[in-house]
Chains A and B, each alone.
Chain A
Amino acid sequence: MTGTEFSKGQLISRYGEISVVETKPLTVDKPYVIVGLPEVGLVGVIATSHIVGELKMTDVGYLDSEMLPPVVTIHDSEPKYPLRIFQRDRILLVISEVSLPAYFIFPLTRAIVDWAKSKGAEFVVGLSGLPTPNRTEIEKPSIIGIATTPETKDLLSKSNVPPFEQGVIVGAYALLLRESLRKEQPNITLFAESHHQFPDPGASASILEALSRILNVDINVKALLEKAEEIRLKARELMRQTQQSMEAMSKAQERGTPSVYV
């Protein structure tokens, strides 16, 4: 961290180029920090957006940087930052409403992990999709997970989430995992079988069912599945921009044969 300041009732923590601004006091003991960034099938963004609505989470802050696109979103006549933080009980949630440039992902994941550590997070949770060629044939996408500590591995196992045993992950969630390992911040990252270039609410619903078991929190996905077609229509532009950003991160490696041997 490069500095903290308290100004006008807001706590501002600076992590290199990125500021994390807490607009409301956060006194959460051992929170779970869930991260929803635009990636494969927009699985993480669709899932976290649903959690915010379903759990009626409170808007408690945002992340800001000069490296972010010049975008403000407007909700209920209020201008909002595109990268926001929500809270409910022990859950802190970071969500991006816009696609993020590839060069921003590294400082962003580093800031999220540093901030989570400063909050004493029990673990960070990444929600993503894994491109699956025959996704159209799959009625209910399967979920696998990666955990970084014996405790989180045990939790995954008790929650009936099979481990991601072998393979390659590229992109934002790979960096989130790497930073978590480097900072010794426990991390659980879940992956759903997903469409690669199309928004996939079905994959998001499956991942939320697994997350419910892990956090022991009831997240109803019925509404998400009912709104699936509307979500797919709304999320098209974000999906396309995300696709361009993923290409810049060589994300296609996940779809092909990985160039690793051991």
Chain B
Amino acid sequence: MYYSRRKKTIFDTIEALRKEMDRIFEEYFEALTPETSLYDFERRGLTPLTEVRELEDEIVVKVDLPRVSREDIKIQANENELKIEAPLTQRYKPDLWSPFCSRVEFDGFRKVIPLPAPVDPNRARAKFKDGILQVRLPKKITGTAIPVE
């Protein structure tokens, strides 16, 4: 096991305090942030379940789109977000809720997904299989090339 012999300075204590304050603020604001509802009653839309993974050179977004046809899916992307719209092949009427809520019928999925890093939307690729949409968005390359001597 490794033990540090360096004595803690006042700066270490300040740094530790700063980190703790950051953690407390993050937790506090996370608790305040309202969750996106999976159901938009006014527009009769469903918000799909999504999975966003950031890799070294690309961002992979998976979207769960049951009861949707590939030809009906509309995808738009810019550097910072991905917009998905997909109508259902048959309207969905939830029957597990209270009888009052189940009077509503939903006609499609809609979601704007913020991306964790800027991407190059022109190089994005999408495929749809078994009701799962997968979009691969290469990250935007910025900066200047550095020659190796």
- A-to-B contact residues, CB < 8 Å: 136-137, 195-199, 202, 228-230, 232-234, 236-237, 239-240
**A229 and B96 contact, CB distance less than 8 A:** no
Within 8 A of A (CB), among B104-149: 129-132, 134
**B67 and A233 contact, CB distance less than 8 A:** yes
**B66 and A229 contact, CB distance less than 8 A:** yes
**B132 and A136 contact, CB distance less than 8 A:** yes
**B67 and A237 contact, CB distance less than 8 A:** no
**B51 and A197 contact, CB distance less than 8 A:** yes
Count of A-B contacts judged by CB separation below 8 Å: 44
Within 8 A of A (CB), among B45-70: 46, 49-51, 62, 64, 66-67
**B49 and A198 contact, CB distance less than 8 A:** yes
- B-to-A contact residues, CB < 8 Å: 38, 46, 49-51, 62, 64, 66-67, 92, 94, 96, 129-132, 134
**A232 and B51 contact, CB distance less than 8 A:** no
**A234 and B67 contact, CB distance less than 8 A:** no
In the assembled complex, how far is the CB of residue B127 from the closest CB belonging to chain A, in whole angstroms? Answer: 8
**A236 and B38 contact, CB distance less than 8 A:** yes
Give every chain B residue within 8 A of A234 (Cβ-Cβ).
94, 96
In the assembled complex, how far is the CB of residue B11 from the closest CB belonging to chain A, in whole angstroms? Answer: 30
Task: Take A136-B132, A234-B94, A237-B38 as given contacts and tell me if A196 and B66 are in contact as well, using a CB distance cutoff of 8 Å.
Answer: no
In the assembled complex, how far is the CB of residue A53 from the closest CB belonging to chain B, in whole angstroms? Answer: 15
Task: Take A198-B64, A229-B66 as given contacts and tell me if A236 and B129 are in contact as well, using a CB distance cutoff of 8 Å.
Answer: no
In the assembled complex, how far is the CB of residue A43 from the closest CB belonging to chain B, in whole angstroms? Answer: 15
In the assembly, what is the distance between CA of A237 and CA of B66, in Å? Answer: 14
Give every chain A residue within 8 A of B129 (Cβ-Cβ).
136-137
Task: Take A197-B49, A229-B66 as given contacts and tell me if A240 and B38 are in contact as well, using a CB distance cutoff of 8 Å.
Answer: yes
Give every chain A residue within 8 A of B50 (Cβ-Cβ).
197
In the assembled complex, how far is the CB of residue A234 from the closest CB belonging to chain B, in whole angstroms? Answer: 6
In the assembly, what is the distance between CA of A229 and CA of B92, in Å? Answer: 11
Task: Take A232-B66, A233-B66, A234-B96 as given contacts and tell me if A240 and B49 are in contact as well, using a CB distance cutoff of 8 Å.
Answer: yes
**A198 and B132 contact, CB distance less than 8 A:** yes
Give every chain B residue within 8 A of A202 (Cβ-Cβ).
130
A-B contacts besides A233-B66, A236-B46, 9 pairs, CB < 8 Å: A136-B62, A136-B129, A197-B51, A198-B49, A198-B62, A199-B64, A228-B66, A229-B66, A240-B38
In the assembled complex, how far is the CB of residue B9 from the closest CB belonging to chain A, in whole angstroms? Answer: 31
**B67 and A195 contact, CB distance less than 8 A:** no
